[in-house]
Amino acid sequence: MSRRGLVSLTTRRQVRRNGGDLARAATQRLEAQHDWYARLTAQERSWVGLVAQAGIANFIQWLDGEESADTRTTFGAAPRELTRTISLAQTLELARSVVEVVEEHVEELAKPADVTDLRIAVLRYSREIAFGAAQVYAHAAEQRGAWDARLESLVIDAVMRGEVDESIRTRAAALGWGDVTDLVVLVGDSPRSSDDDDPALAVGQVHRTAQRLDLPVLAGVQGARLVAVVGSVQDPAATAAGFAECFADGDLVHGPLVTDLTEGAVSAHAAVAGHLAAPGWPTRPRPVAADDLLGERAIAGDDLARATLVEQVQLPLEEHPSLLDTARTHLESPGLEATARTLIVHVNTVRYRLGRISEVIGYDLTVTHEAFTVRVALTLGAILEDPSNIAG
């Protein structure tokens, strides 16, 4: 049976004549019953009022059996921004208020013989308008998701290129990154999927992990790499470990901790350079810090790593000639005793100096990989010290 057949023409005309009063009553019901409505701005309340009025008008069309009566058009009366202002649950409360107002006036609107049929029609309409609201919000979420994904990709690209200006910060703020600080960039291989390697799958996994860890994140796939910019980080190594499952097997490198997106390129550069150079350290951990790969990065051609090594190793040791001499000698010797013989000092003196070297530069020459890093640093320093290598 059609909707037109349920309710008589007389009752439908009565409902239509009272449409304005029903819409005003629905708006008053919102003001009286829902706290969230009072917290809206004047413009937002006007949007909600439009939806309430459209809900009544749409019910009248629906009751008349008009083909154009689609419950989703109720929510088309307001701008799409309304879906960001009020939640789906609040929208359903709005729709319920509209329906309740009509239901309360059924006996005034309907002929006695139509009261039951009109109540049934109201119940059917309430079900359809709920489905309509869910469809509108699902569509809005889909559009917003696609837009947010493009925006996120744009911000990631800017961070990786070191081009974070005011416009990029504004775009990042639209993604909820207006006040995010303490960032670290993670770089690893993007996981392969059976769905034509859809980058959205990898990015989605990063976002789900970030939600579980309660950390803000921006993610994107660039070629074969998956990049994640994580905010509110306290321990970069622990954070990288927390996201490790999002990346394919292989190297996962985290850059150094930086203050905000403006400095994000520093962490990004280090992470990318570290990911390229990581195979040079056979026993590297996973994840690994880019700063632990300075030697490999320098050999691979990373100018920033080279400058950092000279600044952190060569220059401080130059201020302590005996320590610099001990470092160079020990790196060429097969052990402590051999170093002591070459320097003509007691072996305990060598141990003391190695301890002091560790205090001054932060590297322990008794640890194989740290000794390698220092060797690279001192080699770079020696090359730079050679007058023949200075451009005239």
Segment 52-76, tens digit of pLDDT: 777 777 777 777 665 444 544 555 5
Query: Quick one: 139 and 8 in the same domain?
Result: yes
Burial class of residue 212 in the structure, from the number of CB atoms within 10 Å of its CB (0-12 exposed, 13-18 middle, 19+ buried): exposed
Q: What is the CATH number of the domain that holds 329?
A: 1.10.10.2840
170: in domain: no
172 within some domain: no
Lowest mean pLDDT among 23-27, 154-158, 183-187, 318-322: 23-27
- Where is average pLDDT lowest: 113-122, 152-161, 180-189, 230-239? 113-122
**Crossing angle between the packed helical segments 236-243 and 199-213, to the nearest 10 degrees:** 130
Query: 311 and 365: one domain?
Result: yes
pLDDT in tens, 254-268: 999 999 988 999 999
Residues 7 and 136 placed together within one structural domain of the fold? yes
- Please state, as a whole number, how many other Cβ atoms lie within 10 Å of the Cβ of residue 23: 20
- For residue 39, tell me if it sits in a domain: yes
User: What angle do helix axes 115-161 and 166-174 make, rounded to 10 degrees?
Assistant: 150
| Least reliable range by pLDDT among 71-75, 126-130, 266-270, 299-303 | 71-75
Please name which of 280, 361, 302 lies closest in space to residue 326, comparing C-alpha atoms. Answer: 361
* Residue-range definition of the domain harbouring residue 121: 3-143
Residues 219 and 152: beta-carbon distance below 8 Å: yes
- Could you report how far apart the first and last alpha carbons of the chain are, in Å? 96
Please tell me the predicted confidence (pLDDT) of residue 105. Answer: 79
36 pLDDT more than 60:
yes
* pTM for this predicted structure: 0.62
As for how many domains the chain has, the answer is 3
